[in-house]
Structure 1
Amino acid sequence: MRGYQVLHDPTAVVDLPLGREPHELLVRAVLAVTDPERLAPDDWAQIALQLTGHARAVAQDVERLTGLLPRYDPRRVLAEDVLRQARQRLDAPMQGTLRCAQGRAHTVRELYARLDRLRTPRPASRR
């Protein structure tokens, strides 16, 4: 079994594993659902909660890497925009709906895409 980090909630509501692969699988599964009746509202709420916690953890990584870039670097500007949009979505009240879970799944996907771009070395500019 692989080791993993756990996001601990001091209110003891939930402990979330932070591994990327299981969350990417969850994101794909949630985004593939077309029938909101496939799960009960409590199940959708639990999925949204897990995706919210994971999105916040990934956002911290994006924010940390963004802070290392020069102020006017285009990658920084784009990352700050993604972070702003993610915060707005994650601060919205959670609901036990497919739509809410899918919104959180899109946020996780966008944050990982930005994180990957920040980790990729910038190509040398041509002169």
Structure 2
Amino acid sequence: MSDSRAVLHDRHGPVDAELPLERAPYEALVTAVLAWQDPDLTPRDYEQIALQLTGHARTVASDVQRHAAALPKNDGRGALAEVVLREAADRLSQPLQGTVLCAKTRARLVRALYERLDRLTADRPEPQ
């Protein structure tokens, strides 16, 4: 057996650019996190949830960026997407914490990114 492994990673992104997002599980997680009233979880649990939401937020942000870049320069949706992406980058640069607030902040970010993605893709015709 060989010890060598091949890792598929394309830092320019086209490999996974057309793969659909696993949206439903993350939307359910966002809904659950934002509905928390007084959860009784450990700091490590909150951190793990925030970590999951962070990774997904980065994926959705990449998709938003790709769709915004494909718009004509005079399309206002692109400018709005850039505002959301700047705010996302700012929030994602904050360190993870094992708190309810951190998890809820990441959940709100995922929700905002999906809202922007939906607006960017709303008028696009479905692929044949």
Q: TM-score, normalised by structure 1?
A: 0.79
- Unaligned 5+ residue runs, structure 1? 1-7, 9-17, 123-127
* Mapping for residues 10-89 of structure 1, pairs under 5 Å: 19-36=22-39, 38-89=40-91
Query: Larger strand proportion, structure 1 or 2?
Result: 1
* Mapping for residues 110-125 of structure 1, pairs under 5 Å: 110-121=112-123
Q: TM-score, normalised by structure 2?
A: 0.78
Q: Matched residues in 2 for 1:80 and 1:20: separation?
A: 22
Select the residue among 85, 97, 100 that pairs with 2:99. Answer: 97
Q: Give the superposition deviation at 1:97.
A: 0.3
Q: Give the superposition deviation at 1:29.
A: 0.3
Deviating 4+ runs (over 2 angstroms): none
Q: Matched residues in 2 for 1:103 and 1:27: separation?
A: 10
The SS at the match of 1:45 is: helix
Q: Matched residues in 2 for 1:78 and 1:97: separation?
A: 30
Q: Matched residues in 1 for 2:67 and 2:23: separation?
A: 17
Aligned-residue sequence identity (percent) comes to 60
Larger radius of gyration: 2
Amino acid at match of 2:94: A
How many aligned residue pairs are there? 105
Q: Flag the structure with more relative contact order, 1 or 2, with Cα contacts below 8 A and sequence separation at least 6.
A: 2
- Unaligned 5+ residue runs, structure 2? 1-8, 10-20
Amino acid at match of 1:66: A
